[in-house]
Copies of this chain bind each other. A is one copy, B any other.
Amino acid sequence: MTRWLTADEEQAWRAVRRFLTVLPSRLARDLNQLGLSSADYEVLSTLSEQPDHRWGLRDFAVKMQWSRSRLSHHAGRMEARGLITREPDPADARGSIYHLTDAGLELLRQAAPGHLDSVRERFVDHLTPAELATLGRLAERIADLPD
């Protein structure tokens, strides 16, 4: 017995679907102007949050919620652009340690303010603090559901 969506549910779901596609694409477009893809930015900022700017692929992939294959491919491209390096892990010769280069850090520093403006202009500044908190709470509830 399929429970179809009520009219209200349907309307809300349509709005949320649009939100899900449109916001990321706007942020990506803004970032592209700064010379980075969204994926690039995530990699750089995640790496930069690590104290020594290093991370082994496996944990890095878990942290980013990316497949290891995806991260390895993407890292290869970023390495070719000089934004990160990959070195063998001294503690486990199978492993690979990713490290942010100076150029990568510089590019991130240069792009961050623009990206932040973008997040404000496309999202944060259009909600009151209470609305943002509510939205964050509901988003978290959904995101925290089991996979």
B-contacting residues of A (Cβ < 8 Å)? 2-5, 8-9, 11-13, 15-16, 18-24, 26, 65, 113, 116-117, 119-120, 122-124, 126-127, 129, 131-143, 145, 147
Cβ distance A81 to chain B, nearest Cβ, rounded Å: 23
Given the interface pairs A13-B136, A136-B13, the reply to whether A142 lies near B3 with Cβ below 8 Å is no
Partner of A15, one of B19, B127, B137: B137
Chain B residue nearest to A124 (CB atoms) is B9
Cβ distance A26 to chain B, nearest Cβ, rounded Å: 7
Q: How many copies does the complex hold?
A: 2
Given the interface pairs A15-B137, A132-B8, the reply to whether A113 lies near B2 with Cβ below 8 Å is yes
Cβ-defined contact, B19 with A142, below 8 A = yes
Chain B residue nearest to A26 (CB atoms) is B147
Residues of B within 8 A of A143 (CB): 15, 18-19, 22-23
